[in-house]
Structures are given as C-alpha cells and as structure tokens.
Amino acid sequence: RIPVIIDCDTGVDDALALLFAVRHPGLDLRAVTCVAGNTDVDGVVRNTLTVLERAGAPEIPVARGAARPLIEPARSARHVHGTDGMGDLGLPAPTRAPAEADAVTLLRREILASPSPVTLIPTAPLTNIALLLRTHPEVTRNIERIVFMGGAVACGNATPVAEFNVWHDPEAAAVLLTAGVPITMYGLDVFQRVVVPGARVRRLRESPDPGARLAGDLLSHRPASPGAGADPDAGGIGDAGAVCSVVDPAGLTTRPLPVEVSLAPGPTRGQTVVDRRPRPGEAEIHTGVRERALVDVALDVDVDRFVALYLDTVAGPRGP
Ligand code: BDR
Ligand code: CA
C-alpha cells in the first residue's frame, strides 16, 4: 500500500478526500494534519475528527497545525463551505481530541517513521508544509512526492487569476514549489471537472453505510461547478481528485513545466504562473532569469475514470 499523509482544511471536499483515502485498499493513510483555510483551524480539526469517526477510522492520528498563513491574516471560505466549514450538515462533535503533537511535529515523525517513502497530499493552504520543509528539511529524504491541490494553469476562484489554497498563503506555496522534491500540481483546471452525476449522488445518500451516506450528503452540498452543467444534484469531488491521482496516476495527464507564484501585492497575488511555452529555457538564457523548478502540472483528467474510482471506493467496504 502507498503510505500517504493528507494535510487539509476540512472543508466539504477535503472530507470527500478523507473518506476516499480511508476506504481505498491501495492507500495507507498514516496521519492527517490540519491547517486554517476553509474555516479556522479548530473547526478544521473538529471536522476532520468527525469525518474519520464516521468513516470508521478513529485511530488515524490527527494534529492541529497553523492557525493563519505565514504573513497574512486568516480568511475563511464560509460562503463556500458553510458556517462550520462542512456544509452545515449538523454532524456530531467528535468523541476524541487531536494528538498532543502539533502538525509539523506529527508530519516529521510520521514521514521519517514510514518504512517506505511517503506521498504527501496537501489539499489546503500550504502553511504547514512550508513550516515543515523549513524546520525539518531532512524529511525530504523519505518523501516520494508531494501531490497538492492548488493553483491553476488558466483560471482562478478566490480571485480572477488565483486559486484559493495558493492565494490564502502564497509565500507558503512558493516555499513548496522550490523545495526540490517531486511535485504534482492538481490545479483548478482539472479539480473543477470531476463531477459525480446527480443520480449517483442520490443513490449514495440512501446508502446504509454511514461513510457512503456522508459522501452523498457532502456531494449534494458542493456548489454547482462548471462541470455540473444542468444537473442540479451533481457534485464535484474536488480535493478527492488529487487523492484519486495518487492511486491512479494514469487518469491524469501531466507535463513538467516551470511554475512560479506571484507574490506581489495587487491583482495577481497568489496566481500560479505556469510557463507553457515550447522552449521556456531559451528566453531565460537571453534575459538572465534564474532557473525555475519543474512541476508536474495536471493538464487533463479522465473524468469518467476518476468518478468511477471514487464511487467504487466510497460505496465499497473499507480496505485492509
Ligand atoms: C480549494 O479551496 C478549498 O475551498 C477547497 O477545499 C479546495 O481545496 C479549491 O480552490
Ligand atoms: Ca481543501
């Protein structure tokens, strides 16, 4: 099984990602760390613990991380994820507390303790990950790859050009992109396309299995995305698509491209600038621009394949 750690801001679609990761037999979810994003960090911790309990995985360690971005104050996305950050579904409070260790400590411990290199899956602002990489750079020796949901090639949601996770903490995203580890950017361009048809969402909501039912309720809360078309009950799997791509990388088309984050104040702050020119290096030689790290940028996704993978997993029994 692939050892994975999810760093999240649960979050309706982060919850969908957790439900998938717990259930997929090919994944070994070793820990979940929380960061401020969709809601405040204590709300994220509470939501994460509740989801793991509902998914039948109360033993997975959960740690509280950064309460705000590196430089800016926290800004919530309650207008998207409800006042509790989880779609206001009226879920019960969790019955356990998070780990005593903070997120960075738990990340370091779990990464170094893993018998094989870990795939790290951030589905949130990258504050915890930046702090980890700066505080404990030795973790990179046991990181297989970082597959993060964030950024975009050609669109934005938090602003016309910036995706929420990168926009919320652009400096942290810049630290990640220059960390020197293999990175996959599962950006908004593919994120928005993986949508479960309404008929399947309705079936999930009637499932006798509590985890599957929660997935159905969460999907029905997902705001209409461009991929939903005219189907009112359809719901995007959002962050869960990044986890699907770890299980099934062939469902994603990626290309190694230079990516930089705009850190300047003003309308482009938080934009991921992806260089798709055929020979980007050439211009740099002439202009003296520094060398930029390559990121495997998701350019296309096999929507039917990921929808089927998601539904087969969350509607099926929990793996070993
Ligand atoms: C990202 O922002 C959050 O609101 C979602 O959970 C997702 O991680 C999309 O821009
Ligand atoms: Ca998220």
Residue 274: pLDDT band with limits 50, 70, 90 = very high
Q: Which range (6-10, 78-82, 177-181) has the least confidence?
A: 78-82
Distances (CA, A) of 21 to 55, 239, 251: 10, 11, 17
Interatomic CA distance for residues 283 and 141, integer angstroms: 33
**pLDDT digit string (tens) for 7-22?**
999 999 999 999 999 9
Interatomic CA distance for residues 191 and 58, integer angstroms: 28
Nearest residue (by CA) to ligand 1, atom 2, is 164
Backbone phi and psi for residue 80, each to the nearest 5 degrees, phi listed first: -100, -40
Sort strands 2-8 and 118-122 into parallel, antiparallel or unpaired.
parallel
Complex ipTM tops 0.90 = yes
% of the chain residues with pLDDT over 70? 92
Sort strands 252-261 and 195-196 into parallel, antiparallel or unpaired.
unpaired
Helix axes 127-135, 170-177, angle to 10 degrees: 50
Contacts of 295 (CB under 8 A, 6+ apart): 177, 183, 184, 185, 256, 257, 258, 259
- For tokens 């400590």, name the residue: 105
Residue 229: pLDDT band with limits 50, 70, 90 = low
**Is 118 in contact with 6 (CB distance < 8 Å)?**
no
Q: Supply the pLDDT for residue 99.
A: 96
Cα-to-chain-centroid distance, residue 276: 24
Residue 231: pLDDT band with limits 50, 70, 90 = confident
Residue 319: pLDDT band with limits 50, 70, 90 = very low
**pLDDT digit string (tens) for 289-301?**
556 778 999 999 9
Ion ligand 2: residues, CB < 5 A: 9, 11, 14, 123-124, 239
Q: Could you say which DSSP state residue 21 is in? A: H
Residue 320: pLDDT band with limits 50, 70, 90 = very low
Q: Supply the pLDDT for residue 82.
A: 75
Q: Could you say which DSSP state residue 228 is in? A: G
Interatomic CA distance for residues 138 and 113, integer angstroms: 12
Is residue 266 exposed (0-12), middle (13-18) or buried (19+ Cβ within 10 Å)? exposed
**pLDDT digit string (tens) for 41-64?**
999 999 999 999 999 999 999 999
Residues with CB under 6 A from ligand 1: 11, 13-14, 38, 77, 80, 123-124, 149, 157, 163-165, 188, 238-239
Which of 166, 209, 161 is closest to 186 using CA atoms? Answer: 166
pTM of the model: 0.94
The pLDDT of 135-149, averaged and rounded, is: 98
The pLDDT of 264-278, averaged and rounded, is: 94
Residue 75: pLDDT band with limits 50, 70, 90 = confident
Taking 50 as the threshold, does the pLDDT of residue 303 lie above it?
Answer: yes
> Which one of 6, 8, 9, 10 would you pick to mutate in the ligand 1 pocket, going by the greatest count of ligand atoms within 8 A of its CB?
9
Q: Supply the pLDDT for residue 292.
A: 72
Taking 70 as the threshold, does the pLDDT of residue 149 lie above it?
Answer: yes
Interatomic CA distance for residues 95 and 231, integer angstroms: 37
Taking 90 as the threshold, does the pLDDT of residue 317 lie above it?
Answer: no
Sort strands 27-34 and 2-8 into parallel, antiparallel or unpaired.
parallel
Residue 277: pLDDT band with limits 50, 70, 90 = confident
**Is 17 in contact with 240 (CB distance < 8 Å)?**
yes
Interatomic CA distance for residues 101 and 109, integer angstroms: 10
Nearest residue (by CA) to ligand 1, atom 7, is 239
Mean pLDDT of the chain: 92
The pLDDT of 243-267, averaged and rounded, is: 96
The pLDDT of 116-133, averaged and rounded, is: 98
Which of 194, 167, 164, 145 is closest to 295 using CA atoms? Answer: 145
